[in-house]
Structure 1
Amino acid sequence: MRVSEFYKLGKSQSELDFVDVDIVNDVELYIDPSAISQLSSSWADSCVASIQSFFQRVLDAIGNGNDQEAISLLSALREPNETHLGLSTGRSRGSGLGDKLAEDFWESLSKSKAARSGLLQDLEDTALLIEGVDRDRISDITTNLIRTQLVEFTQETAKFHGIDLSPDVAYGRFWNPQTGEWYQSYTSLPTPNGERLLLVPKAIARRGLHLRAGEFYRHTVLNYLVVEERSTRSLGAVVRSRRGVTKTAVDEVLKEQFDAGRHNPGVEKRINTWAAERNPGLLRGYKEQKEENPAPPLSDETIAEAVGATIPPVSELLQKVVETPTGHADADNYERRVEALLSALFYPHLVFPRRQKKIHNGRKRIDISYTNAANHGFFYWLAMHYPAAHVVVECKNYGKELGNPEFDQLQARFSPSRGKFGLLLHRGYGDKAKAWSSCLDTARDARGFIIPLDDEDLGVLVREHEGAEQAEAFSYLHKLFQGLID
């Protein structure tokens, strides 16, 4: 049974900002640190700081010969069964560290010249260079290190969806990047069937790691060694193969030298380490290239398939919005349905939706707020040219024409750090040209940019989403925005 089913949320994966996992078994998805680092938000920055501070502390201990400190730091990493992500079959068991596993991981690191020489710098590097470390281990370690942030996300998400939280839940250890220490604490969490549940943002879930040892070996290391072999003949690949100096020939010779015919699956990582030690630019160049070409977040369809669910077409979500009666009595219902539709339409460009977010010490609230995480399309372009770290949405379920107060209310939610772009959702009553004039006044007075969207406009967005290959460019929104600045 998935989270949405257990808590009767009545929402599909496309309407949820977290991975809708089975509350008993594991889903074969993982947390990738690279996915976190490509998000532009204070939450993601906090996660990156925790991961980097811990791993640097471990590397420093190994470099200084302080083995006990390294083992002590690593031994606090435990099996994060509460996320229900990973490779376990049957009930979640995890593959985290702790006890002997911590010693094994430390031994792999301590024996690695890459760790002692400074070649290893990031946690993800271990998946490229250290045998026995792959997506499941990296995901488990990351979960431990960002537990504080995941608890925060879970609590906010639970409040957002009305999921009950159990108070004073005893919880393992949390990493403090400021003090460089582990600490224990109590917290509030959902506890379906009496078990802790930690929700994971779907924006950071992946099927595998962005940095991959096999890819680094085949496309970076072998290419470099082929060029070197043609000039130095140091490997003897020409003697051993009549095919000349090819990637296949170099691959065969290297694996004979580093594996002696044992066919150990970790041989490519040993070669990666050897090559990167000879030329550190190989690792640096590979990581820079991968950073310039980030992997897109998994689609809702892919995540739904992984969790064993189906998702409705966005046209059904639009229909729910359109069928909502106007008036104050259905204002909250309208807001919730708008959020469900916009979340499905705009993911993964806009993530972390928050309803009724308090600002100005609680004196004001934003109906819906999104974090702008786009790396292409309209929202990316918007953030490159205008303050748009967040996109705010105000919902007006009026059965009458909008007036200046409604536009002024949304403009008052803007700020340089929060952003100066918002969407005003309304039902389409009155003169649309008059409403647009109010938005033009706001833009010309440099008070921000507001795009009003009624039921008809939402229909255009939905048709664009369902029909065009380049729907994620949001050309209709881009066209409307151009009308504000031309």
Structure 2
Amino acid sequence: MELIRPRLTDYHGIHKSQSKLDFAIQFFDEDIPLYVDPFLLWNSPSQQDQALHTTIINSFNQLNYLVKKNKLEEAIEILVSISECSEVGLGVSKTRKGVRMGNKQAKEILDLFSNIPEYSQFGFSHFEVIQLYIAGISKDRVSDIACNYIKSFLIDYTMEQCETHAIPIEGVILDTLYNYRTNKVDLNVKQRLPVNPTTKEPIIFTPKRWLKFNPWINYENYFQKYCPRDEVFNPNEPVEKVKVLNFNRDNYGVIEEYVKYKEKNASDCHSDPLFSQIPVLSARRKLNEILKLNTGKDNGADMKYEELATQLLASLFYPHLDFAQTQSRTDSGRHIRDLIFYNNRDVDFLDEIFTEYENRQLVFELKNVKKIERDHVNQLNRYLQPNIGRFGVFLTRNPLPKAMESNIVDLWSSQRKCIIAITDEDLRLMVDVYESKQRAPIEVLKKKYIEFRRSCPS
């Protein structure tokens, strides 16, 4: 059985949580839903980050030079070639493969240099404002262009991180690499980088500190809080984005003031974490909702239980367990909902789970039932196979009946498989611990494991 939603670190045995690493851990088969925001580099206290932002802006404004020299086709070719950067694995693609912009859209962007005198004369100070002028330019495009302009730095950064964490690298061929010295795109460049073990596609890391869900300068923010709608639309006229973009192209001053406003409030611009814990009050509220639920499936109680438990456990176990995903599976015609966590092995208990039961991931099977029965145990038992590991957890409402306690002890004796149950009372204790901040909720899971082992024959 394969790992669920495999990450590069898990594959190579790097036992560190996302919170302990400087770079965003990549998935092999899908993108990370975050983006490099050039404004974070501009706003960074690091002189290196600021210099990289200057590199991005100078490179983008170099396209203006080509336009003025009547080399429009060359400028279009460069812009198209740097409009996709699949190696960084950022975005929402389920295949890690994006699509480059077309020549027509590239020309629309380049026309900004010709049609707006201020950009023709001075260039852009924040190139991400192209989102406010051109349809179809979104955060993923801005991120990919920025990454391509500084890809040489990102390659060096990736190799440094690989050396630090003993991540294997291989010889690869990069389709494109922007050359800052020549201001051209080099093709088929040899490098040494980590790779996707299945496709052998190269992987490039990005620092977490540069990542946001939305760039600081973005169309939605501009439209909601700054766009002078009364000047754009007549009364009762439908709100169409194309009219806003056309207005912006004719009113450079409005965009310039918006950019100044965003710069003035730059202290509020921070990177977005790859995972955010829910507040203590929300945790207590979700626990109370769980405790009020009836067991069984009536009125969707099982689905509500799964939803609340997912949100709660993902926060309670962070950062010791990085949440992977929820997963549905069918066993003998029964629908089963699992929570999958990555085992980062950063506390002694989790390291023991890996060593004793070979769990590279932890499975929590959600059961909103009055009592766990033999069929439930058999289902989870069948799932505890190599790669997933021989340790599994029921999240259920009540303690196991005596007969089921004997059953799981027998499983441990015969197959060295460990199954424990987290109940409503255990969840209550976890939230108490989470609230007090004196200890980690993962210790409740450890306590249940120790109790189970004491019940097993030596």
TM-score by length of 1: 0.52
* Alignment pair present for 1:56 and 2:98: no
Q: 2:272 is aligned with what amino acid? A: L
Give the AA of the match of 1:200.
T
Cα distance change on mapping 1:315 and 1:12 into 2, 3 Å: closer
Kindly report which structure 2 residues correspond to 1:47-126, keeping only aligned pairs within 5 A, or say none.
47-63=52-68, 65-88=70-93, 90-97=94-101, 102-103=106-107, 105-107=109-111, 110=114, 115-116=119-120, 118=122, 120-126=124-130
1:254 to partner: Cα distance: 1.8
Change beyond 3 A, Cα 1:26–1:52: same
Q: Distance in 1 between matches of 2:436 and 2:22?
A: 19
Q: Report the CA distance shift for 1:6/1:311 in structure 2 as closer, same or farther (over 3 A).
A: farther
2:195 aligns to what? Answer: 191
Does structure 1 conserve the Cα–Cα contact (< 8 Å) formed by 2:128 and 2:218?
no
Distance 1:284 1:26, change over 3 A: closer
Hey, what's the Cα distance between the residues in 1 that align with 2:182 and 2:316? 44
Q: Residue 28 in 1 paired to residue 36 in 2?
A: no
- Cα distance in 2 for residues equivalent to 1:294 and 1:177: 31
Counterpart position of 1:127? 131
Structure 2 CA distance for partners of 1:309 and 1:126, relative to 1, 3 Å? farther
Residues 152-195 of structure 1 show CA distances to partners (whole Å, capped at 9, x for unaligned) of 1111111111110003x111332233433333431110112212
TM-score normalized with structure 2 length: 0.55
Q: What's the counterpart of residue 403 of structure 1?
A: none
3-state secondary structure, aligned to 1:124: helix
| 1:261 CA drift (Å) | 5.3
Offset of residue 111 of structure 1: 5.0
Distance 1:302 1:323, change over 3 A: closer
Residue 412 of structure 2 corresponds to which residue in structure 1? none
Residues 19-418 of structure 1 mapped to structure 2, 5 A cutoff:
19-63=24-68, 65-88=70-93, 90-97=94-101, 102-103=106-107, 105-107=109-111, 110=114, 115-116=119-120, 118=122, 120-167=124-171, 169-184=172-187, 185-192=189-196, 193=198, 194-222=200-228, 251=229, 254-256=232-234, 263-277=239-253, 282-291=257-266, 293-302=267-276, 312-313=317-318, 320=347
Name the aligned partner's letter for residue 272 of structure 1: N
Q: Deviation of residue 16 (structure 1)?
A: 1.8
Match of 1:196, SS state, is: coil
What CA distance in whole angstroms lies between the structure 2 residues aligned with 1:173 and 1:153? 18
Provide the rounded CA distance (Å) in 2 between the counterparts of 1:99 and 1:309.
44
Helix, strand or coil at the partner of 1:131: coil
CA distance in 2, matches of 1:21, 1:318: 19
Q: CA deviation at 1:80?
A: 1.5
Aligned to 1:413: none
- In structure 2, C-alpha distance between the alignment counterparts of 1:214 and 1:281, rounded to whole Å: 16
State the shift of 1:211 in Å.
Answer: 0.7
Name the SS of the counterpart of 2:176 in structure 1: strand
Distance in 2 between residues matched to 1:318 and 1:86, nearest whole Å: 28
Letter in 2 for 1:212: N
Tell me: CA distance 1:313–1:71, structure 2 relative to 1, closer, same or farther (3 Å): closer
Q: Which secondary structure does the structure 2 equivalent of 1:175 belong to?
A: strand
TM-superposed deviation, 1:266 = 3.3
Cα displacement string for residues 15-35 of structure 1 (whole angstroms, at most 9, x for unaligned residues)? 222112211112221111011
AA aligned opposite 2:89: H
Q: Is the 8 A contact 1:13 1:309 kept in 2?
A: no
CA offset digits 1:321-358 (Å, max 9, x no partner)? 9999xxxxxxxxxxxxxxxxxxxxxxxxxxxxxxxxxx
One-letter identity of the residue aligned with 1:195: E
SS in 1 for 2:226: helix
Distance, in Å, in 2 between the alignment partners of 1:282 and 1:48 is 21
> Are the aligned partners of 2:64 and 2:123 in contact in 1 as well (CA < 8 Å)?
no
Structure 1, unaligned runs of 5 or more: 223-250, 325-462, 468-486
Percent identity between matched residues is: 20
Aligned residues of 1:96 and 1:140 also touching (Cα < 8 A): no
Which residue identity is paired with 1:30? Y
Q: Which residue of 1 aligns with 2:291?
A: none
Partner residue, 1:456 = none
For these two proteins, the number of residue pairs brought into alignment is 296
Asked whether the equivalents of residues 119 and 280 of structure 1 are also in contact (C-alpha less than 8 Å), the reply is no
Q: How far apart, in 2, do the equivalents of 1:42 and 1:280 lie? A: 27
More displaced 10-residue stretch of structure 1: 204-213 or 70-79: 70-79
What is the identity, as a one-letter code, of the residue corresponding to 2:54?
Answer: A
How far residue 129 of structure 1 moved from its aligned partner, in angstroms, is 3.0
Cα distance in 2 for partners of 1:323, 1:263 equals 54
Letter in 1 for 2:136: G
SS of structure 2 residue aligned to 1:19: coil
> Measured at CA, do residues 314 and 136 of structure 1 come closer, stay the same or move farther in structure 2, by a change above 3 Å?
closer
TM-superposed CA distance for 1:263, in Å, is 4.7
Judged with a 3 Å threshold, the aligned counterparts in structure 2 of structure 1 residues 466 and 159 are, in CA distance, closer, same or farther, namely farther
Distance 1:172 1:148 in 2: 13
CA distance in 1, matches of 2:103, 2:248: 28
| One-letter amino acid of the structure 2 residue matched with residue 152 of structure 1 | D
Give the equivalent residue in structure 2 for 1:13.
18
Cα distance in 2 for partners of 1:161, 1:149 equals: 18
| Distance in 1 between residues matched to 2:47 and 2:231, nearest whole Å | 48
CA pair 95-77 structure 1, distance change in 2 beyond 3 A = same
Gaps of 5+ in 2: 1-5, 279-309, 322-343, 352-433, 439-458
Distance in 1 (alpha carbons) for counterparts of 2:92 and 2:277: 15
Residue 177 of structure 2: SS of its match in structure 1? strand
Secondary structure at the counterpart of residue 28 of structure 2? coil
* TM-superposition CA deviations, 1:331-388 (whole Å, max 9, x none): xxxxxxxxxxxxxxxxxxxxxxxxxxxxxxxxxxxxxxxxxxxxxxxxxxxxxxxxxx
Contact 1:127/1:213, CA 8 A, preserved across alignment: yes
2:425 corresponds in structure 1 to none
- Residues 98 and 9 of structure 1: is their aligned pair in 2 closer, same or farther, counting only changes over 3 Å? farther
Structure 1 residue 98: Cα displacement? 6.2
